[in-house]
Amino acid sequence: MGILNLEEQLAFYRAYHSNSKNVAIHIVFIPIILLTTFHLATNYALVPAAWLQSLPAGLSLYANYGVLMALIYSGFYILLDPFFGVMVTPGLVYASVYFSQLTHLPSSLGAKNYNNLAATLWVVSWLFQFIGHGVYEGRAPALLDNLAQALLLAPLFVVFEVADFLGFRKGVFERVDEIVKPKLEEFRQKKNK
């Protein structure tokens, strides 16, 4: 599979998401998982504290794993699909920068509370993902077959699902569904045996 082949990447993920209720759960909770992951990752600096002091004023606040993750996701999405990649990049980067500011609030202003809220939402969102797969899809999540691919692709898959629902880029999922159809048939046959 080509790492930058949009249709192949979406087909991998779509093969695990054919039930509309499971897809709806993903549309709600995948963005929450992504954003809370960014938030929690802003607690960890990219470099030792002594090195942060040598950075220009204000920049040290953003030298963390949350911002790095947002840049990696954005870069991958731009390479995979320039149109949607450019559309989601400002939101991803802004969120990570904003979360960096929340993480560095004084304790008296609630930085710990924001972290606790993010951690709680992250856990609840993952529980809903597994419920969606267990109850509605009847199939293990994609991340059990390819963790990195599933984690990177899930948010972009949600963007394409919403776009498809709104009538944009219909041709993409039509081609993806043709790729997925034999895989779903094979899965259903194995499941029925």
SS3 45: strand
Q: How many CA atoms lie within 13 A of 101 on its CB side?
A: 6
**Structure confidence at residue 46 as a pLDDT band (50, 70, 90):** confident
Give the mean model confidence (pLDDT) for residues 124-129: 96
Q: Is pLDDT larger for residue 71 or for residue 146?
A: 71
Res. 64: pLDDT tops 80: yes
SS3 191: helix
Q: Please identify which residue in the block is written with the tokens 């948010």.
A: 155
Q: What's the N-to-C CA distance of the chain in angstroms?
A: 29
**Structure confidence at residue 154 as a pLDDT band (50, 70, 90):** very high
Task: Give pLDDT tens digits for 8-36.
Answer: 889 988 888 889 999 999 999 999 999 99
**Whole-model pTM above 0.75?**
yes
pLDDT value, residue 38: 97
d(CA 76, CA 5): 11
